Chain A
């Protein structure tokens, strides 16, 4: 190759970059310091409202009554279990009393609502000829004696708290801890993480021993555990960096360039975090994936650069010329790939859930930053430090040696190999299509689906579900009336039928509301005569019967009464059945002044999320593919080329749906973005390979030679990129947060499979099309 002056063929971008290298280094350094300072202030957060589709009708209804419903849901349950005998021992009762007292003083606890058999608001009652008699469950003359314990047992049985505050098997007792979302003294919002820590320190660590076991559940605990889990992700990041560095060095055998790539990629992460802090966005357990992705994308593009620089150095170019030539040969492919990533991510914006949108913004920013750091900073830096002697020697040796693995991939332009690969691809496609039909929407595991099924939280939750009459899957319908009409007879009567309608809906365990309170009140106030378990048309009677309504079952001005529907589980079918049942009832019974609005409660919100996700899934897939296809068409201007690049991607998308079904991973907030990320990044491989293949073909090579040329120039780098990206996200598989693990599994699969698809199916398809058109032309 003759060598004209390096400047004569340079492009504008290159001249801008390389004519003022020191200035650029200073600008990059200053920006890094500033953004690093910003990034250091980013803290993981887990905001509930960001995880839900706020525009959905259900959520709008829920927001309308959010304050009224607060006291209903935000409760922590602490089960104190004894492993010896039952709870009616002096030692156990002493412990239970101590724990109740301790909980009372934890900041954030609504003290007036605190309930255990040791709080004075828990009473037994009995009907006598004169009326009600009753008292606190703990006998007035409690002295921990045998008689006191016998009396306590009698009182507990009379109190109706078996299954509520006392386990059905009498081996544990519950403390129900309602929380104040806003501290009434200071006006500050409750810090869930702090609260959760206090529960661990002051309750579990202090009282759990050989005979006493503590189980804690509740929304506050889930959020606390989620943030704790998210903090562990920091460690995964360090692991990912170390593994990546080892791989980089193994690939380049050059300390200098390995460090340069690593540092530039790390700078990209710092910038990305700094910018999201600047634009007022935060980092949540979902968008936490983004730094990993940015780092991995940075490394994979960095590798392409140092690969080229090393090759140029072997050819005898100076440090600066090697860097310039590398930039010149790669910036178009690099830009196309990165722009398609960035635009691919922005398609996630069509989903109206804030965490996904934050993830989309963060990822797009991250990729944009990679353009600057790894296509801009990295070549400049390399123009100063250059590739070490050791590195160029290695490249030289590698060049002369025929790479066995690359040799394997070269086979796929041969018709026999190509058709076999396509048949195997079709088998994979059928597998994906078959199992993909069984793919479910929503969360499939019991308990808190955010955490792993065997996490301590979910084991605690299972314990409470098993031993107490309560379900943790709650769907709330809000009965909206005119002010002060929530317990009007006409409304209650229709709500009673609604309750019965819902109770007979498959998947529903139980229904509770102010109607139940009214009927129980009538039963109780009429001497415990079950024949009075009904509603009365007389409003004074109804008022009396509902006088003891627990807080939360009617709102302050009595214009809304929640109907609480306890479900067997929160599977998508169950939720759909429930929603359909409510809609059917609303269709059939329409009463002036009464609206039955869906939905609150964890299951109600999940129903809304599922419906948004289900609608968004197809929309997003169409969007991301349209964008990627359009970009490929723009840069290659050939339908055949684009087909070669896109078909392997589609195979991966379809197979990953089959994988989700097989692994019981549902489509949810966490896994929906994965499809877009997988396609957006997966297309890079195809772009790099096809760009080189095309270059070869244009130089007059046949398909076999052209692909060998492409593999020799970029094959190693593409293989390396796939592995780096996969490793970056694979560490997530070990996250204590279930959805992060799910994201990790799926992304690892997609990155590896897309890489293999590009290296095997692109040549195979190219062969198929070439043969096909030749036959037609004959």
Chain B
């Protein structure tokens, strides 16, 4: 028992009436084994307990033999007859333990289609929050999950989007470089002394190396032969500090320091490696593009476009420009490095030495290929220039196979349309004053001028408007306005739902949302491929028919004057339910027909 194994002498029967095969039963917490006594007997058994669904045993005191009946999930029963009740008890206990243990991990094999990945606690928390915040969702959850129509997992499976993509996103994507600019590693001063402290981590070092190949090169050359690592970095930091110094003649100071110290100059001078790389890149640019020619056109010639950096605007100095780096240069370089990504794994970020080595390795491959292509690019460039110089506009027109458009004058359309309208108007207003219509152009202009001079001489008609006419217009206008307002309000603002009593309105909306939920689950479970889906569909069908009857009740409960409108609202829901039911029945029929066919085919 201590080892968790029980071994008993039993008779194995496939049914109660079977005389049985004598042998030994071995029980552990995971599996049970039966070995027959006679080695040539075929009845062997070796199965895991998780396949065992049920176990029964004969009670002590009954006049039956002590027997244990294990039912597997496939419905096959295995019966063991023990020699005594004591043996049965021991085994019974063991089986009970084993079964309760497998019960804890609810993953029976043939129900594995159930989407029952155990959700993480985070996700559970998220779900709870969602339910708390969204009352409608909570109602649905209460109704379906609590009533067992949908399982928890099913309910959330359709709402994976709501839970946020965070969980699925956690995949293999490699973390890139942080996008904050290197120069942000600001020195910290302690205020009292003049001491300036820089903090460097392997990550920062990696970025420094990536963005400033000259530093990387210097590091490989100097450390640890010529100077210690510590010295190297303090020099580097000193150079950085000089760059960041806020006094106006930082450039001058840098130049002075560089003159004194050879290694320091390394950091202060523009990066040669970078420069050559830039030249190489420029060669790939469209040869007809000339940035320098455009320089005067915009503000790009202004240093750093007036961006405030480190709290102060940068001021240019032509004299020591050699030692100055502009923000745009640094930003560009940083962006390039970030986009390139990191070729170094996180594990290699242990100390600066390994970082430097790893970077070197990754770059070597690149460089080799670069040099190779350099030759080709020069050739390419020349041929491209000659190609680009051919300006399209000056070329002879290449005869493309174009079909000429035959576009009608749109006036034909409008003219004819207007003509019909005019004809109609003439039809209606015919006989009004046909004399006037035959007036010639001159006559009409003359008559218009006459009326103008008439106004000129007699002045405005007095009174301009008779009170009767004014009243008529006002009443027509107000009537018009109020009627259109009423109509428009009825069409848009007020829906029929608002005229319903609140309870029935809410009930209707509630039915609508729950029906939508059910239908979504229902249709997504087709085609039915597993028994699990089959039970789910029948569950959903029952729930839907319940809603159907509820809708019927609701329809009958409302007042007779509203009934027609309610019926109109309910009809689409009922139609949806009906469609689902019909599909279900049709599917059932098809299934039975198919199974019938198959059995015919077999016999």
The answer to whether A and B interact is no
